[in-house]
Amino acid sequence: MRNRSGRERGPSPAAHGVKARQRRNSAQRPARGARAMGMRGSVGDRPDRGPGVAAEVSRSLRVAAAYGWRLIVVGAAVYAIFAALGRFHLVTLAVFLALVLTALLEPSVRLLNRWMPRSVAVTVGLLLGILLLFGVLSLIGANVAGEWEGLRREFVGGVSRIERWLEGPPFRVPPGTLSDLQDRVSRFVSSHRASLISTALSGVGRVVEVLTVGVLALFCSVFFLHSGDRMWEWFGGQLPGRGRHPVRLAGRAAWITFTGYTRGIVVVAATNAVLVGVMLFVLRVPLAVPLAVLEFFAAFIPLVGSPVALAVAAVVALAAKGPLVAAVVVLLIVVIGQIEGHVLHPLVMSRAVQLHPVVVALSVICGSVTAGVPGAVVAVPLVSVVWSVYGVLRADPSGT
């Protein structure tokens, strides 16, 4: 368009606005269409990050890989901890025994502390525990010494009875098999006397290790009983501010679970020992008191210890009293197992140990494979403490 002076006039502002709107609309139409097509084609999926490998890996595989490397790190840390503890297994065992003594003697020390100072209460409590232990050991020694001669005669006659019983139906063992077995054992002992002597000498070293562990455990338990709470408070004070409360919460839960388990297993073991001792005394099986004490200590290995101890009692009954009494003792294994599993554990240890029997069995087997009998004893309380700490921290993840 031209104005009156003949010059060309530019488009009006209104025309400018119309053209700008047209350009914007034309640019937005393909973008909106592309977005709409993209939404329709990938609903529920992440947008493509390019032609790389990450776009081809499924979400489940990425989640599995994330959990996998974290589990590998945790497993490596746990392995390193147990390897370090295995290198110092005597110290670890001594500290564990010290914690057991502390859990058992703490109620009596607290009671004595009402009438005497704390240090005197700890001394009196430890002396009473030591006297009780030596009293039980002396009772076992006196019982074995008093019944040894009669037990030897009964065993000689019992072996003869077992041999005659095996020669009859249904076993039909050839005569003289047991005598040949005894001769072979005697020849083996005579030919391997040097190795047996070296084994006995290594057993002396084991005795020294046991005494060392016992003295160290007693030494640690003195300080745990006297000032264990102050030691724990000092340890918590060395941590950063944000980590103090979770650690204290986990430590309190761990100690409650450990003391509950320790006191509960002592009650269960004592009940089993009394039942076994009474039944063996009624059946007139020799060494009833030592076998009852063996049952007491074997009960500290759940699900396995009691049957093993009663199997030893069944062998003694078979040699001394014949197969009928031995069958009664075998039946006693089943009865005591039912009482322990369905009465004592639910009543005494249900609050301290909330583990499935399969978990208990697997813990005992793994502990025994890893560290023998001490590992089998430590496995269940360790798993119980770890599970209780996990439950407390899961219930309060913020640590507040």
Q: Of 28-32, 84-88, 177-181, 182-186, give the lowest mean pLDDT range.
A: 28-32
In this prediction, residue 43 carries a pLDDT of 45
- The residue with greater pLDDT, 391 or 48, is 391
CA–CA separation, 247 and 272 (whole Å): 37
Q: Residues 386-390: what's their mean pLDDT? A: 87
Percentage of the chain lying above the pLDDT 90 cut: 4
| pLDDT surpassing 50 at residue 374 | yes
* Residue 231 neighbours by CB distance under 10 Å: 12
Q: Please give the distance of CA 398 from its chain centroid, rounded to a whole number.
A: 27
- From the list 237, 262, 260, the residue with the least C-alpha distance to 248 is 237
Contact of 381 with 392, CB cutoff 8 Å: no
| pLDDT surpassing 90 at residue 204 | no
Contact of 101 with 218, CB cutoff 8 Å: yes
CA–CA separation, 307 and 265 (whole Å): 16
CA–CA separation, 95 and 92 (whole Å): 5
- How does residue 287 score in pLDDT terms, banded at 50, 70 and 90? confident
Say which amino acid occupies 22: Q
| pLDDT surpassing 70 at residue 126 | yes
Most confident listed range (172-176, 198-202, 245-249, 302-306): 245-249
- How does residue 72 score in pLDDT terms, banded at 50, 70 and 90? very high
> What 8-state DSSP symbol labels residue 9?
P
Angle at 366 between CA 364 and CA 368, to 5 degrees: 65
- How does residue 220 score in pLDDT terms, banded at 50, 70 and 90? very high
- How does residue 41 score in pLDDT terms, banded at 50, 70 and 90? very low
Contact of 268 with 348, CB cutoff 8 Å: yes
Say which amino acid occupies 248: R
Percentage of the chain lying above the pLDDT 70 cut: 68
SS3 268: helix
Q: Residues 120-146: what's their mean pLDDT? A: 82
CA–CA separation, 399 and 178 (whole Å): 67
- The residue with greater pLDDT, 178 or 375, is 375
SS3 2: strand
